[in-house]
Structure 1
Amino acid sequence: MKKRSIVLLTLILALSTILAACGDKKEAGSTEGTATTKLAADQTFHINLASEPPTLDPAQSQDNVSSSIIRTLFEGLTNKDKDGNITPGVAEKWEPSADGKEYTFTLRSDAKWSNGDPVTAKDFEYAWKRVLDPKTQPAPPYAYQLYYIKNAQAYNEGKAKVEDVGVKAVDDKTLKVSLENATPYWLGLTSFTTYYPVNEKVVANAKWATSPDSLVGNGPFKLSTWTTGQTLEVSKNDKYWDNKNITLTKITASIVDSAATEVSSYKSGQLDLAGQPIGEIPTDQIASLKSEIPNELTIKGIASTYYYLFNVTEKPFNNLKIRQAFTKAINRQALIDNVTLGNQIPAFGLVPPGIKGIKDEFRKENPDSAYGKEDANEAKALLAEGLKEEGLDKLPKITLIYNTNDNHKKAALAIGDMWKQTLGAEVTVQNQEWGVFLQNRRNLNYQVARAGFGADYNDPMTFIDLFTSTSGNNDTGFKNAEYDKLVKEAYSNSDNNVRNEAMKKAEDLLIKQNQVILPIYYYTNIQLVKPYVKDVVIDYGGQLDVTHVKLLEH
């Protein structure tokens, strides 16, 4: 998910330099050169969601579509400004202890829920413990993001009591948090969806997050319409503490999984924004869009990785050499040049460019060339060895699943053809509705599955801890005690040299030694934004924030 962390302006500038070939670096929604700055009378912002949000419950969110909507409905202790710097949210101030292991937050007195209830420190304590409660079902996929809190993991694993968890409401407006270890980027996580508060008396209704009649949030907007498979609408929340600085009155979203239809609707004026992270631009239209409306198209490098998951618990991908064969048998640059067409960068590792290392970017300090290269002959040899080890004469039929999306389909068909040409694999590609797709991944009901992940905060750990044994985002069946140990070492050490060395070893273990995933490319964000739209924010990880959008007269 992408998408919520401490990041310096210099990082964004660095990304722009690194990925200069990615195209126009003008801020999405910039009004530079616009003749007028007068606001339009109608402040209704029109977007499209390429899939139905699987959930609007912050505890269950793990995807960009859900988080982009949830971000309009809820607010955490902190927010991020357009440069990714941490700003006050529900908390008007905070005080860390000298050793960095304890934070005391003071909540603003005018923070309210959309039903008029005051937002209290107890709401945060309840929400975080609800995420960690081993009885919460479905199990929140991002529970591990709270493991920085003292005894959070122990409680989540049934080894400690709820009162042992290091989050306490001292009074209605004071929240005290104790961490296991000093973690420089932890404060940034308090702006992440899993850390959002929920109203306890509302959550008593199991279906509270599915209807405008029952969903109560504390963000700048409130849910006003949700017709499954058709439309979703949020309207301005007059109870929000900073509603005077919210210009939009409504955000209306169609729900259409066709990239071509999305662009057609944009061109006809039905949409004000189109493209990632909540929609798609058809790859075969990028060239013409650059020519037709270059000032509305932005292609921007982001700290996000596109990859395939192997189910390592089932044949034939329980075999390392077969996983390596499939990884070496694809031509990433050919895929980018002929299929994805978005100036992406071929990926051989998990951590993308733009993520901080020790003195430079992690990816520069640890080049992904260390994880090998594409080699058709080596792929064939590895396949033969792997089949022999498994006692197989040939590969069984392979099914590659992806969530319904034209661009994912094109990539899957092209990669499937590469596997056929090089390995003789008989590959079926299968699209699945987003919620079904996620469920099948979680249940390991697949052989190979599409995946993508964008940074939640500016540290390699946001990618590395995805594949621990306890991660709710680990949909591969991979469980490795040494990997878990390395992640724990990085979690618990404040020495950045030690931390980065542990994370380097973990990535090496994940990819070079076990080939659990098949990295394909490092993302670019491709988006169309109308010239009259101001203040659309796409952060360095590719997360969308439209809460402070303004529509100019046009």
Structure 2
Amino acid sequence: MKRRFIIMLAALLVLSMALSACSGQTTHQNQESQQSGKQTAPIEITYNLQTEPRSVDPAKNTAIDGGTVIYHVFEGLTRLDKNNKAEPAVAEKWDVSSDGLTYTFHLRDGVKWSDGKPVTAKDFEYAWKRVLNPDTGSEYAYQLYYIKNGEKYNKGEAKAEDVGVVAKDDKTLELTLESPTPYILELLAFFTYMPVRQDIVEKDPDGWAQNPETYIGNGAFVMKEWNHNDSIVFEKNPNYWDAGRIKPDKLTFVMINDASTELAAFDNNQIDFGDNPPANDFPRLREDGVLHIDPSLATYGYVFNTKKAPFDNPKVRKAFSLAIDRKAIVETPPQVGQKPAGGWVPPGLPDADATKDFREIGGDYYDVNKASVEEAQKLLAEAGYPGGKGLPEITLLYNTSEGHKQIAEMLQEMWKKNLGVEVKLANEEWQVFLDDRANGNYQIARLGWFADYIDPMTFLDMFTTGSGNNDSGWSNKEYDDLIDKAKRTTNAAERMQYMHQAENILMDEMVVIPIYFYVNSYIVKPNLKGYHVDPLGYTYFHEAYKE
């Protein structure tokens, strides 16, 4: 999710000095190759991560910033290729039982942790059971409910030894699923499925992932420095099994929250890649040939706290949603190409017929081109609040950002004009905002969601009862049952039908307000090549280099 925060102008001078110190020579050009007898210059790349990650522990991270760090330091049994299909990584091959329930993974030779110790199948078994252990408190534990007895263990209804993952020996991992899962190999590349070392984690359960000395990974890079709220420095991992593929010698992830400050650093050659360019500068950036805008599998919206009045009433929630003119929001300058959202699941995800789109088949749940004012007013009156009278004080919460503020102010005005409702606005720093949303300390809060894998399920199972990412507090047994059926059936048409029915319930109950479907905008120095930006929101520098 995109995040831009306000920083005082004076901070730019301090930041400029800090960037110069931490980024090294960001304008290095590759010299002639070693074959010509000349030494190749080190490849150093500076990327703007934007914010201090809330966590970089694979079991506890839920955000793109933390995931970006994890993907550069760790590697799973599989990894995603540039078409987001699973390919062998730590596992060089696997066998699948005829019923599609049991996978036997064979780890390749020579896979090591960054400290030189061998990676074993037991590291994966420990890591996955740690995610599912209720004491860990992993918000993404539900992503491992595909594993036999994973959900039961997470809910205290089974023991760790009942979970369907077993290290048969150092090189062989057996995975047993609850039901055949068509995207399981892609899901195994997700950061929550990364291995971790039991000895490292248990020596310092709360601090191991905060200290470069104990942040031991098995991926392409090693964390060398973490200057909190400023920068993270990585170097190539010489013990990585596929080290020959890795081009950068050094990566520096800086944390510039403000879009204008990011652009100033980019213009001053202090960063090579920025994910948060100011939309007002798009015309100039296009002309300079440094702006890129790609489709993104993500939805921008707001979530209701369904446990607090007045949003415990679905009619009130629907009234607030229908009173919004989504087209006006996306067409308000500066425009960046977003499309108004007619549902929660974005376009770009296949339906049962892979040539057709889930969103296209599902259609829009309301008019995305204008507010449905009369219907919204009618629903609010039926809920007992005609003209907004009698409503308690309402506050909309968003994480500090000029872009989020602009949209929040537009919603504030629409609700006042169309419903007669006064809504206050409040903003919080990113990590405080995440904590308050997760703990239910809000009434309406901004929500952005990127797909974790290429399937509509990634947008739907997050709202099941008890899901770690279900910040709404909403619970619906029929919805839960449909998601469960979708996960268990082997019939592709039935599976998609269940998910469409589930989205119908989610939108009828209006647990979330979809506003628009994201695009991914970023700026890159013309000489930086070989990086990969995927529609899931992550940027990879494993094969990046400079011309």
- TM-score of the two chains, using structure 2 as the length reference: 0.90
> What's the counterpart of residue 17 of structure 1?
none
- The CA distance in 1 between the partners of 2:258 and 2:268, in whole Å, is 15
Q: In structure 1, what is the Cα distance between the partners aligned to 2:72 and 2:311?
A: 40
**Partners of 1:52 and 1:228 within 8 A in 2:** yes
> In 1, distance between residues paired with 2:94 and 2:113?
21
User: Which of 468, 471, 478 is the aligned partner of 1:472?
Assistant: 468
Q: Which letter maps to 1:158?
A: G
Q: Is the 8 A contact 1:346 1:522 kept in 2?
A: yes
Per-residue deviation at 1:37?
A: 9.5
Shift of the alpha carbon at 1:371? Answer: 7.9
Contact preservation (8 Å) 2:380, 2:388: no
- The within-5 A match list for 1:13-92 is 41-92=41-92
Alignment of 1:142-291 (within 5 A): 142-204=140-202, 205-206=204-205, 207-275=207-275, 280-290=276-286
Per-residue deviation, 1:118: 0.5
**Any idea what SS the aligned residue of 2:332 has?**
helix
Q: 1:481 offset after TM fit, Å?
A: 0.7
Q: Which residue of 1 aligns with 2:19?
A: none
Deviation at 1:370, TM superposition (A): 6.0
Which letter does structure 1 place at the counterpart of 2:415? W
| 500-509 or 449-458: bigger deviation | 449-458
| 8 Å Cα contact 2:84-2:454 kept in structure 1 | no
Match 1:337 to one of 331, 344, 359: 331
Report the Cα distance in structure 1 between the residues aligned to 2:30 and 2:262, rounded to whole angstroms.
28
SS in 2 for 1:308: strand
1:307-322 equivalence runs, <5 A: 307-322=301-316
- Deviation of 1:439 (Å): 1.0
Moved more, 402-411 or 494-503: 402-411
SS in 1 for 2:233: strand
1:410 aligns with 2:406: yes
2:489 corresponds to = 493
Looking at structure 2, the residues matched to 401 and 370 of structure 1 have their Cα atoms a distance apart, in angstroms, of 24
1:424 Cα deviation from its structure 2 partner: 2.8
1:374 to 371, 374, 378: 371
Residue 164 of structure 1 and its aligned partner are, at CA, apart by 0.8
Bigger relative CO (Cα 8 Å, ≥ 6 apart): 1
Q: Is residue 342 of structure 2 the alignment partner of residue 348 of structure 1?
A: yes
- Listed one character per residue, the Cα deviations across residues 359-418 of structure 1 (whole Å, up to 9, x for unaligned) are 1111111112468873123222322332349x9833333221122223222222222222
Preserved contact between residue 351 and residue 363 of structure 1 (Cα < 8 Å) = yes
Counterpart of 2:238 in 1: which secondary structure? coil
Cα pair 1:312 1:477 within 8 Å, conserved? yes
Structure 2 Cα separation of the partners of residues 78 and 38 of structure 1: 34
Q: Is the 8 A contact 1:286 1:341 kept in 2?
A: no
Rounded Cα–Cα distance in structure 1 between residues aligned with 2:406 and 2:524: 24
Larger mean Cα displacement after TM superposition, 145-154 or 76-85: 76-85
> What residue number does 1:540 align with?
535
> Are positions 1:460 and 2:461 aligned together?
no
- Cα displacement (A) at 1:462: 0.9
Residues 547 and 425 (structure 1), Cα distance of their counterparts in 2 relative to 1, 3 Å cut: farther
Task: Report the CA distance between 1:299 and its aligned residue.
Answer: 1.0
Report SS of the residue matched to 2:209. helix
Distance 1:371 1:187, change over 3 A: farther
Paired residue type of 1:164: D
Structure 2 distance, partners of 1:172, 1:449, is: 46
TM-superposed deviation, 1:158: 0.8
1:520 to 490, 515, 531: 515
Letter in 1 for 2:169: D
Task: Report the residue type matching 2:482 in the other structure.
Answer: L
2:7 maps to which residue? none
Residue aligning to 2:432: 436
CA RMSD of aligned residues (A): 2.0
Residues 248-295 of structure 1 show CA distances to partners (whole Å, capped at 9, x for unaligned) of 1111122121011111111221111111xxxx22222223322x32x2
The answer to whether the 8 A contact 1:322-1:387 is kept is no
**SS state of the match for residue 131, structure 1?**
helix
Query: Corresponding residue for 2:23?
Result: none
State the partner residue of 2:139.
Answer: 141
How far, CA to CA, are the matches of 2:444 and 2:151 in structure 1?
A: 30
Contact 1:340–1:407 at 8 Å: present in 2 too?
A: no
Structure-2 change in CA distance of 1:266 and 1:330 (3 Å): same
Would you say the 8 A contact 2:462–2:470 is kept in 1? yes
Deviation at 1:429, TM superposition (A): 2.3
Measure the CA separation in 1 of the matches of 2:215 and 2:30: 38
2:530 is matched by which residue type in structure 1? D
Correspondence for 2:5:
none
Equivalent residues of 1:329, 1:419 under 8 A apart: yes
Cα 1:533–1:235, aligned 2, differ >3 Å: closer, same or farther? same
> How far, CA to CA, are the matches of 2:404 and 2:250 in structure 1?
30
1:201-239, Cα deviation, whole Å (9 max, x unpaired) = 000112100011211111111111111111111111111
Structure 1 counterpart SS, 2:384? helix
Name stretches of at least 5 consecutive residues in structure 1 with no aligned partner: 3-34
Counterpart CA distance in 2 for 1:494 and 1:283 is: 45
User: What SS class does the counterpart of residue 106 from structure 2 fall into?
Assistant: strand
1:383 aligns with 2:377: no
How far, CA to CA, are the matches of 1:228 and 1:103 in structure 2?
A: 40
Residue identity (%): 44
Contact 1:50 1:405 survives alignment (8 Å): no
Secondary structure of the corresponding residue to residue 368 of structure 1? coil
Q: Which segment is superposed worse, 92-101 or 517-526?
A: 92-101
- Residue 340 of structure 2 aligns to which amino acid in structure 1? P
Q: Distance in 2 between matches of 1:99 and 1:38?
A: 54
Q: How far is the alpha carbon of 1:451 from its aligned partner?
A: 0.9
User: In structure 2, what is the Cα distance between the partners aligned to 1:268 and 1:150?
Assistant: 53
Distance 2:456 2:465 in 1: 18
C-alpha separation between the residues in 1 aligned to 2:528 and 2:418?
Answer: 47
Unaligned runs of 5+ in 2: 3-28, 34-39
Q: Which moved more, 1:480-489 or 1:542-551?
A: 542-551
**How big is each residue's C-alpha offset from its partner over 1:284-334, in whole Å with a ceiling of 9 and x where there is no partner?**
2223322x32x2211111111111000011112112121111101111111
Aligned partner of 1:323: which letter? Answer: R
Alpha carbons of 1:108 and 1:287: their partners in 2 closer, same or farther (altered >3 Å)? same
**1:168 is paired with a residue of what secondary structure?**
strand
Q: Measured at CA, do residues 388 and 76 of structure 1 come closer, stay the same or move farther in structure 2, by a change above 3 Å?
A: same
Paired with 1:340 and 1:398, the residues of 2 have a C-alpha distance of 28
Aligned residues: 510
Name the CA distance, whole Å, in 2 between partners of 1:170 and 1:59: 23
Q: Secondary structure at the match of 2:123?
A: helix
In 2, Cα distance between equivalents of 1:397 and 1:232:
42
**Structure 1 residue 546: Cα displacement:** 1.9
| Secondary structure of the corresponding residue to residue 384 of structure 1 | helix
